[in-house]
Amino acid sequence: MLRIEFQIGLAGISDRLFNIEEQVTSVEVDNALPAFGDMVFLFLSVRFDSEISAEQLSDQLPSMQIVDVTQAELNRHIYYIGVMADHSEASVLSLLTQNQAIPHRIVGKNAHLEVMASVRDWNHLKEVANAIEGEHGSLELLGTTQTESIGFPLGSNKIKQSMSGKLSKEQLEVLETAYQMGYFKVPQEVTAEEIASELDISRSTLSARLRRVEHNFCALLFGPQE
């Protein structure tokens, strides 16, 4: 198996959301379920710069039926949104599954869709890439990794929602800031001291909060199931 990461231009529901009046900074496709005919249920995690209502979304996305809008409990900028739309609004996901690739992550940000998926081998990768390029133009391959297992397909792992309920507001803030500033990248793009300065907290406070995040994350993965 090959785990692949690639990016293309914004498309479908992600493109529509980035073009509405309210400022959107990221859109993640959590799941998609077939409805009837050419319609599909799309479940999204969307980060806005300000609060949004279902009525505002409906007004700006008239071709879609907004099924549900739920604001995250701790990070009030994130909304879990369910919409019914034409299957073309999830065309990347459709192309992956039609070509027997396993989607893992689809995120819209910085004017691109970033996608992670699994394919059988290099020949299968070429087939999938050709199908996506035929529909969306150029595709930039960001990386490939040989893997022994498929891993979690899109929509099967609710770890994001689970973690948001197990972390305090301060811990979420530390984790998100560290991620956005590049602390977890290899090589690191920022030091712990720089993150602490950005958050106006001490280095020891930052370390304690990150350790608590790591503990809760490991407890969720390896601890007893509730």
Q: Indicate if 182 and 138 belong to the same structural domain.
A: no
This prediction's pTM: 0.71
Ordered per-residue pLDDT tens for the chain, 226 residues: 999 999 999 988 898 899 887 788 899 998 888 777 788 888 898 988 888 888 888 888 888 888 888 887 767 788 989 988 888 888 899 899 999 999 999 999 888 999 999 999 999 999 999 999 999 988 999 999 998 877 777 865 555 555 666 677 788 788 888 888 888 888 889 999 999 999 999 999 988 888 888 887 777 666 654 4
How many domains would you assign to the chain?
2
| Residue 33: alpha-carbon gap to chain centroid | 17
Instruction: Show the domain range for 210.
Output: 159-222
Whether residue 40 contacts residue 32, with contact meaning beta carbons closer than 8 Å, is answered with yes
For residue 33, being part of any structural domain is answered with yes
Q: Indicate if 115 and 201 belong to the same structural domain.
A: no
Q: Indicate if 119 and 179 belong to the same structural domain.
A: no
For residue 82, being part of any structural domain is answered with yes
For residue 151, being part of any structural domain is answered with no
Q: Which residues make Cβ contacts (< 8 Å) with residue 209, sequence separation at least 6?
A: 170, 171, 174
The pLDDT value recorded for residue 141 is 93
Closest by CA to 107, choosing from 127, 95, 92, 122, is 92
The pLDDT value recorded for residue 166 is 66
For 128-132, the CB contacts below 8 A with 24+ separation are 128/4, 128/95, 128/96, 128/99, 128/101, 129/6, 131/95, 131/98, 131/99, 132/6, 132/8, 132/92, 132/95, 132/96
The pLDDT value recorded for residue 147 is 86
* Residue where a domain stops, chosen among 146, 181, 208: 146
For residue 154, being part of any structural domain is answered with no
Q: Indicate if 37 and 60 belong to the same structural domain.
A: yes
Q: Indicate if 25 and 120 belong to the same structural domain.
A: yes
For residue 171, being part of any structural domain is answered with yes
The pLDDT value recorded for residue 74 is 63
Q: Indicate if 61 and 169 belong to the same structural domain.
A: no
In the structure encoding, which two tokens stand for residue 168, read together? 């305090």
Q: Indicate if 86 and 136 belong to the same structural domain.
A: yes
Whether residue 155 contacts residue 44, with contact meaning beta carbons closer than 8 Å, is answered with no
- CATH code of the domain in which 205 resides: 1.10.10
Q: At what angle do helices 203-222 and 159-166 cross, to 10 degrees?
A: 130
For residue 201, being part of any structural domain is answered with yes
The pLDDT value recorded for residue 226 is 43
Q: Indicate if 181 and 118 belong to the same structural domain.
A: no
Q: Indicate if 103 and 190 belong to the same structural domain.
A: no
Q: Indicate if 9 and 105 belong to the same structural domain.
A: yes
For residue 173, being part of any structural domain is answered with yes
| Residue for token pair 């990386």 | 143
For residue 208, being part of any structural domain is answered with yes
* Residue where a domain stops, chosen among 146, 178, 205: 146
- In degrees, rounded to 5, the angle at the alpha carbon of residue 116 between the alpha carbons of residues 152 and 173 is 80
